[in-house]
Amino acid sequence: MKKTFLSAMMLCTLGLSGCGDDTTDPPVDTKPKLDSQSNILAFLEGKTLVMEGDNIPSHPLSLDEDINWGSASQCFQKVTIGVGGNNFHVNSIPGTLRNSTGVGQPGSTCDHAAAQNALVFDSKAVTLSNIAADGSCFEVLVDYGSFKQEGRARFSADTKKLSMELYFEAKATGWHCADGAVGAKSVSTSGVAFTGNAVQVYDISG
């Protein structure tokens, strides 16, 4: 009997089950809440968003990156957004359009590797609305003063990426979350179905 008792005590010492209360605390959910404008902007506060390489879409703001659109050209090497005070501080490094035949004319090519001088601008206000409980889709309006951008956005499941499908204000329809997920083929520009890729993907750091 004594040997049996000692054996049981040894099993309990080794932490095996069946030796009394083995209840463990439930796991703590460390994922940020992304269900409101204040929570999303609080999560992004002080962070840096970077878009480069394959994360640059072929048609940012619905404009073909391989066409010379003058001051609205969308050929980029890299775009960095610093988030602070509930606003966006944007540092955009354009690429170089090769073989341009004129504004609005096809035939040129965006050379992402050939950087031009950076363009820097700050938003005046960032408004988020129609936010899904898990941040899988929400609508964005960014006011830069002289122009505005609007569209839909989403966080990746691990919250390490932010995808924003943006258009110049009032230049596109069908971009609301109710029309489909980010990147859905639901958008029209100038009354014509948009078939390009306008989803800008940003890596989140900080």
Lowest mean pLDDT among 95-109, 168-182, 191-205: 95-109
- From the list 160, 134, 151, the residue with the least C-alpha distance to 194 is 151
Cα–Cα distance between 126 and 69 in angstroms, integer? 26
Per the structure, the complete domain to which residue 135 belongs is given by 37-205
Residues 151-197 have pLDDT tens digits of 999 999 999 999 999 999 999 999 999 999 999 999 999 999 999 99
Q: What average pLDDT score do residues 83-105 get?
A: 94
- Read off the pLDDT band of 77 (50, 70, 90): very high
**Residue 108 lies inside a defined structural domain of this protein:** yes
Q: What total number of domains does the chain contain?
A: 1
**Residue 58 lies inside a defined structural domain of this protein:** yes
pLDDT of residue 21: 54
Residues 9-40 have pLDDT tens digits of 444 444 444 455 556 666 666 789 999 999 99
With 60 as the cut, is the pLDDT of residue 54 above it? yes
- From the list 121, 53, 60, the residue with the least C-alpha distance to 90 is 121
What is the torsional sign of CA 14, 18, 19, 23?
A: positive
Residues 129-160 have pLDDT tens digits of 999 999 999 999 999 999 999 999 999 999 99
Are residues 67 and 108 in contact, defined by beta-carbon separation less than 8 angstroms? yes
With 60 as the cut, is the pLDDT of residue 102 above it? yes
**Residue 23 lies inside a defined structural domain of this protein:** no
Tokens of 164: 């924003």
pLDDT of residue 101: 84
The fraction of the chain above a pLDDT of 90, given in percent, is: 79
**Residue 185 lies inside a defined structural domain of this protein:** yes
pLDDT, the chain, mean = 90
**Residue 24 lies inside a defined structural domain of this protein:** no
**Residue 2 lies inside a defined structural domain of this protein:** no
The fraction of the chain above a pLDDT of 70, given in percent, is: 86
pLDDT of residue 181: 98
